[in-house]
C-alpha cells in the first residue's frame, strides 16, 4: 500500500516572561455541549485534552442552557471525567440555543471572574461557531484543530488538508484559546471512575448579563434531525461512506442498509451531500466531520484530498471503486476494484443481520 508522507513544520517564537508567569498557574475552562441531559462525547474529549496541558491544571466545565435538561447535564458533567474539578452552570433563556453571540459574551464574563490560562472547545460545529467570536471579544487569536498538546503553549495542528503537521508555540496574551480534534483525544473507559468524587456544581452570576448581550446577528430558526438507531457519526466504531457514484438518494439507501447490518454509522462525501443524496450532517471531510473509526468502508469514493483529511486516522480503511487509479486506494488498507452496484447487494445477501 502506498501512503503519502506527513511533513512537520515547526514555528517557534520567543515567549515573553509575562506569558511564562501566566502559565505557572494553570486553569482551563472547557466549553461543553450537551443534549438530552448528557454531555456530548466530543466535549469529554476536550476535557481529556485539557489533561495534557499540565499536571497541576485545574479544569472547569462551562454549561449553558435552560430547563430541566440543563440540571441533568450538570449532574452528568460532575461525574463524567475525574479531571473535572468544577462545573459552572449558566441558566437563562438566552442560552436555550447555542448561538455565538450570547455564548461569546458568557465566556467573556466567566473568564473575567476565573482568569483562566486556557479555554478549550471541541473542533465541531459548536466550537467552530462560538470560539472565533469569543476570541475576538477577548482580543486573542485562537489555535484551531489541535491534534496534540506538547506543552502548555506548544501545540500540533494539521495544515494543507492534513498533509503536513505544524507545531506552533502560542505567544499571545492570556487566555490561550484552543479547539481540539476530538478523535485525537480519545477518552479511556476508566476515565469516568465511579469511585471518584463528583465535581462541585456552581451557578454563574448572570446579574451583569443583559438582554442586549444576547441580541446579535444570528437567531435560531429550527433544528432538523433524523431519528435513527445508528450510532453517532463522530464516535462510531464502524463508518460506511458513500460517494457521488451512487447517483441518487434512492441508491444511497443501499449504504444505509449495509450500515444497519454492521451496526455502523453512515457517512458521505461532499459531492454526495451537494447532490442532495443525504443531509450535510453526514458529510465526512475537511469541511465536514472528522472521524477515526476502527473500520471505515468507502463505496464510490474517489478520495479527494479534502475527504481524506476527515478519515485518514481510521484504523482500517476499505475502499470499493471501479476506477483502479482512484486516489482512495493510496490510503486504503484493503481495496476492491469493482462496481459498487454489484458489491453492495452481494454483501447485503451474505452478511448476517445484526442481532
Binding residue positions: 244, 269-270, 283-287, 300-307, 321
**Residues annotated in a binding site for FAD:** 244, 269-270, 283-287, 300-307, 321
- Cα separation, 34 vs 187, in Å, equals 17
For the record, the C-alpha cell of 268 comes out as: 458521505
For the record, the C-alpha cell of 128 comes out as: 467552530
- Cα separation, 77 vs 91, in Å, equals 15
Work out the number of other CB atoms within 10 angstroms of the CB of residue 50. 29
N-to-C CA span, the chain = 34
Amino acid at each position: 500500500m502506498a501512503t503519502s508522507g506527513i511533513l512537520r513544520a515547526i514555528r517557534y517564537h520567543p515567549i515573553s516572561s509575562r506569558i511564562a508567569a501566566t502559565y505557572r498557574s494553570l486553569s482551563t475552562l472547557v466549553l461543553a455541549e450537551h443534549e438530552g441531559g448528557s454531555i456530548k462525547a466530543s466535549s469529554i474529549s476536550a476535557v481529556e485534552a485539557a489533561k495534557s496541558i499540565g499536571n497541576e491544571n485545574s479544569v472547569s466545565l462551562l454549561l449553558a442552557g435552560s430547563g430541566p435538561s440543563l440540571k441533568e447535564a450538570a449532574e452528568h458533567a460532575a461525574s463524567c471525567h475525574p479531571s473535572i474539578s468544577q462545573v459552572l452552570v449558566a441558566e437563562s433563556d438566552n442560552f436555550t440555543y447555542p448561538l455565538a453571540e450570547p455564548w461569546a459574551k458568557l465566556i467573556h464574563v466567566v473568564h473575567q471572574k476565573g482568569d483562566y490560562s486556557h479555554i478549550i472547545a471541541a473542533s465541531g460545529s459548536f466550537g467552530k461557531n462560538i470560539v472565533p467570536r469569543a476570541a475576538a471579544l477577548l482580543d486573542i487569536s485562537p489555535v484551531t484543530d489541535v491534534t496534540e498538546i506538547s506543552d502548555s503553549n506548544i501545540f500540533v495542528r494539521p495544515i494543507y488538508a492534513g498533509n503536513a503537521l505544524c507545531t506552533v508555540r502560542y505567544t499571545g496574551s492570556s487566555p490561550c484559546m484552543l479547539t481540539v480534534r476530538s478523535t485525537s483525544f480519545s477518552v479511556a473507559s476508566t476515565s469516568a471512575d465511579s469511585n471518584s468524587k463528583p465535581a462541585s456544581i456552581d451557578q454563574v452570576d448572570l446579574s451583569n448579563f443583559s438582554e442586549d448581550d444576547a441580541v446579535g446577528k444570528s437567531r435560531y430558526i429550527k433544528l432538523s434531525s433524523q431519528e435513527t438507531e445508528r450510532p453517532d457519526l463522530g464516535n462510531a466504531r464502524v463508518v460506511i461512506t458513500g460517494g457521488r457514484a451512487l447517483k441518487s438518494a434512492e441508491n444511497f439507501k443501499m449504504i444505509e442498509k449495509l450500515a444497519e447490518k454492521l451496526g455502523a454509522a453512515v457517512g458521505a462525501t461532499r459531492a454526495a451531500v451537494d447532490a442532495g443524496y443525504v443531509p450535510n450532517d453526514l458529510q465526512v471531510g475537511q469541511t465536514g466531520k472528522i472521524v477515526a473509526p476502527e473500520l471505515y468502508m468507502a463505496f464510490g469514493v474517489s478520495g479527494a484530498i479534502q475527504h481524506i483529511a476527515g478519515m485518514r486516522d481510521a484504523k482500517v480503511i476499505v475502499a470499493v471503486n471501479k476506477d483502479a487509479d482512484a486516489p482512495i486506494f493510496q490510503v486504503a488498507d484493503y481495496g476492491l476494484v469493482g462496481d459498487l452496484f454489484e458489491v453492495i447487494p452481494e454483501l447485503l445477501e451474505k452478511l448476517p443481520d445484526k442481532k
